[in-house]
Structure 1
């Protein structure tokens, strides 16, 4: 598989959207499709290259053709389309090299601009709808301050108490925070502050067991916040009277607390990494409602080219609904867009140490 170079002159780079879409389709094919050993190794090598180089990865026309044959299921028409498109591009390049290049760049720029505008508009619209349906009014307590026995004169002012620990006195613009009191808020405004803190402050503690990612670029700000919110296995489990972290207890992951894929990856790493070896991975996945293919199970883990071992669990969003979040109509509807979810748990060569956990989503 090393013969597939990522820097061929006739190769073509992928935009970020194409890269993520291709990675999701490859993961889905590796889990669900019946592939030959050569096809499985080819898809694994392409997936590794895409994860390592991202949108900078280059694929030749022949490699694209093979991917189309494996993933698309119709290689003949795909080959005709690739051959025809390549002949047309070469003819145009030889006759009108500079105008063709500029026109292609301009055409792609317009398409990407239109796509970005649509994405931003959808995000704004979803945010507005979310703010209407998911948030509620701020609860306040209104009262008056009577005469104080320690004051020099009469004190009679109206005040409001917001969220239990913030006092607003009538006539004052800023509120007064009660130090030493921390009452819970229904919709916490602290997440944005945490993102700012991890982006500009020191690195968060890796926690227990120490959280790792495969590539440094995957350590995003939201993942760092997840490391802070879920520092150990106990923080990822459902509430119980016992603090024991037995084999069965580690299966009781509290999915109600999971809001995004980063939190899911951190918590799954905390719990799976608490086991002695990968032999418990299949049972853990099945306890969470995942399906584990026989060729990617604890008994027969998929061995990567570097010797590491991978166990994969698949979850049908189309059949069961999104795994997270478990609350909120708008958020669950947004998470229902993909039709499938997969989780890769990669262990060391000897299977005694969890290296990283990665989630992927399959879309049409």
Structure 2
């Protein structure tokens, strides 16, 4: 801060410089601002070291320096140069050898931080497939190894699951057959149950089971048929789930020649038989009152029997 004597002195010097007209526009603006600041704050006026030096230079002040509390760099103790350890074997005539920098073994590079594109690199430097144990190469290696282990575990798990599911193999004279699963995986076969007389193989083939007809549960003609249709579907799932062995065999449908496999033949469905523990599921459902016999001829079928609505 300035004293009252300093303020009065600089105010007079500023007025003299502004009246002479030798100052530039910037200098006049600076002096005007300093004069207004002194007039406003008085002895509480605060100026920086740089402002004080400019003020003295513009006003050509030759008076002794005021009691301005400014920390000068000259008053600060000189900085000591950084002393690096020197090898005992070093001599003045020996060439300078740069000491290799020690890397932090726990440092891991942030993969989201991009590398500096302007960093100069030696095009002839050695390139290694995997860098040090703390570098990005080790991280990439660990990621690859982890992915391989996960894929191996998934493949092993899926392999065990597939081993318990019946596989479809060709059978002469009847299209395809689904082999039975093992005793430890009974009931787990490669088809799903649509309703009491229709299943769907794992390859998407819809199969209409022949020799019987169960009540419709999707488009019933009455509530009793809908109720019996749901019971027939649940009973078929129960038979397959409890069976020690299941066997699905595809047979030729009773359609006109050349129509099999199209919408004109059985609505595009294939035909087949389903046996659980050697017994035909149609005969079981008929004996329990959940289905009626429905036998077709060589090239056609009679009207579908639906006696559940009276």
TM-score range, shorter chain: under 0.3
Please identify the structure whose Cα radius of gyration is greater.
2
TM-score of the pair, normalised by structure 1: 0.17
